[in-house]
A and B are shown apart, each in its own frame.
Chain A
């Protein structure tokens, strides 16, 4: 079965336990998540999950229907990469000594359009936002200089198409 990458966007209430409820839907179907992130959305008190999965096209719709069926979920959508604008964020912690001793590392930072977040006598932290390949490339480039820590966020994404969540909530208010 051919797998495809989809970004699932879930608009929901901010209730304890909903995360568990959504992850249980994937667990029940033996689907592994590529990434998962959540934050408040553009609408006050409405939260947004961004979930990335590699999944067969005929399955994604069913999974999204199951998510949307949950009481505290307002609406769930799925999109292909082409239908979304998406980024990931990565932090790299490197020994400070290498910043000063290895001139090359400054070039790497400059060329990758990364920014230095903080510098201390022991370490400095670089931040890079971009596609997976870009943050991954920087990780590889920095590795020879002693990467103390590396962490990458889940995908965050907005869709090119309109979501219409406010309309849904307004319709409910009128009822």
Chain B
């Protein structure tokens, strides 16, 4: 694809147009199909904002209330749309405020391009007003970054930025543009990037490894699959489902893999990891073959690595060579886009079923149901639980909603109990665990999937970290449903204090404001519910609204999330109470 800014010369021949660097940035964005940007203006990026004004019929800029909100919104947008999210900020504090979102996108492999303004190139290094070394600061948390000091660099670098952000294992890219480069005029032409000689994003599947994997699958008596976000990022949901159905192998998800497979699919055995389900965690240490698909053996998934699946052969389907053998040694690694490797595996394996092995899952599920799930979803004690709140959302969403979560107890409960029928429906901060993620991410999630219902489930702690984004929701009239599960505590930290610090509740109790009044202050319809009788109707009313809506659900203050694998313990040591 090539777009040229052309104008008719007096003689009628088209010549490249001399445009400013700032205008070039906008034309690059449009050429990359990025017509939605989240950002916040300021001195060093004003030339670009001036162009945003001129191009407002082609490009929608969403003014967030804080630059961190812009990054999370861009992430939410990327996660539900599958496209590259774009965030923009000025130099100095504008740029540093992006860092949390960038780090979050890096660890959760979210495609994002951040554009920051920078002081004029002749001022670089002079400690000028709002100068900060954002290239240095963002280096460890970006897939790539680059500082542009000449307008002529803009087309090539922007093309590379989008290519790098979306290809291979996706990630965030930051482009820092000095103010003089934004003003400078140059001849603009744009060509999309199709390859970079030092970057090979798609390793080729090795046939020998494929054969070895097929053999291991053929020999296994108790095979088990753990899948991650790679299935979603690789758009391999259909291939994955076909593989599951032919292989007959039970499968569990990491938190970011959630929604790649419909919750009701018979192969779905729940979540692995610290607050995952009982059966898949315990049986990780009983299976004879563990097939890891697009996941990276995070410590929250594996617990103590010395006791993790030691009895099993490991097949690792992975796109990023640096992830293979990083935490868990693979007997066979299939380095490839999993869309390709899953298809290849499915073609070569036999149709099978493992009734006895599956029964082990069913039996352990029954124990978890009795000891944990029943009490969470159908409580008999007076106070509302997080579990029944999520279950009520399921009832009214019918599993069709995008669920956006923050970090903490509500996140674990929502991911455990939310039901999904389609992919790209679970938006959460997994690797970095960024409190404050959900509210702005929900804005982007809704704009990335405007026809879908988006429900943000947030704790009272994380909500207050980015609560100002209610202003963005109001101004843009983003029809997200905001549910606060309020226990007046930083619940997950309090749970740890209760279990591991002798109930010394250091700085976890919160004296909270009137959340309903705050939402109403932003002219957002708001309601509060604190008893079981009114919950159904309160959620029904929220889901029926076609506008932004806020619902505070006051839940039990000191409920805990179980099952739980204590930090550093083996997955076999999972506790039910």
Contact = CB atoms under 8 A, between A and B. Distances in A.
A27 B197 CA distance: 27
B197 A17 contact: no
A139 to B, nearest CB: 35
B198 interface: yes
Contact of A68 (B145, B146, B147, B321): B321
B144 A68 contact: no
Interface stretch (A48-56, A59-67, A127-135): A59-67
Contacts of B196: 71
Contacts of A72: 144, 198-199
A74 B198 contact: yes
Given A68-B322, A74-B197, A175-B195, A28 B140 contact: yes
B164 interface: yes
Contacts of B143: 71
A155 to B, nearest CB: 24
Contacts of A20: 135-136, 139
Contacts, number: 49
B509 interface: no
A72 B157 CA distance: 13
B144 A71 contact: yes
Contact of A17 (B135, B195, B320): B135
B139 A21 contact: yes
A24 interface: yes
B321 A17 contact: no
Contact of B145 (A12, A17, A169): A17
B325 interface: yes
Given A62-B322, A69-B320, A17 B139 contact: yes
B197 A65 contact: no
Contacts of A88: none
A130 to B, nearest CB: 34
Nearest to B326: A62
A172 interface: yes
A81 B40 CA distance: 53
| Residue with the highest number of chain B CB atoms closer than 10 Å, among A61, A71, A172 | A71
Interface string A19-34: 0110010011000000
Interface in A101-155: none
Interface residues of A, number: 24
A21 to B, nearest CB: 5
A73 interface: yes
A13 B197 CA distance: 9
A16 interface: yes
A69 B195 contact: no
A13 B320 CA distance: 21
Contacts of A21: 139-140
Contacts of B326: 62, 65
Contacts of A24: 139-140
A100 B271 CA distance: 80
Nearest to A173: B197
A173 B195 CA distance: 10
Given A17-B139, A65-B321, A71 B198 contact: yes
A68 B321 CA distance: 9
Nearest to B324: A65
A61 B325 contact: yes
A136 to B, nearest CB: 35
B320 A16 contact: no
A142 to B, nearest CB: 39
A56 B280 CA distance: 33
Contacts of A16: 147
B17 to A, nearest CB: 29
B203 to A, nearest CB: 12
B164 A65 contact: no
Chain B CB within 10 Å, residue with most, of A20, A73, A169: A20
Interface in B98-157: 135-136, 139-140, 143-147
B322 A65 contact: yes
Nearest to B197: A172
A24 B138 CA distance: 11
B112 to A, nearest CB: 15
Contacts of B198: 12-13, 71-74
16 contacts: A15-B146, A16-B147, A17-B135, A20-B135, A20-B139, A24-B140, A28-B140, A61-B325, A62-B322, A62-B325, A65-B326, A66-B322, A69-B320, A72-B199, A74-B198, A175-B195
Q: Report, nearest first, the 10 A-B pairs whose CB atoms are least far apart.
A: A65-B322, A172-B197, A74-B198, A71-B144, A24-B140, A69-B322, A71-B199, A21-B139, A20-B139, A66-B322
Given A27-B140, A28-B140, A66-B322, 11 more contacts: A12-B198, A20-B136, A24-B139, A61-B325, A62-B322, A65-B326, A73-B198, A74-B197, A74-B198, A172-B195, A172-B197
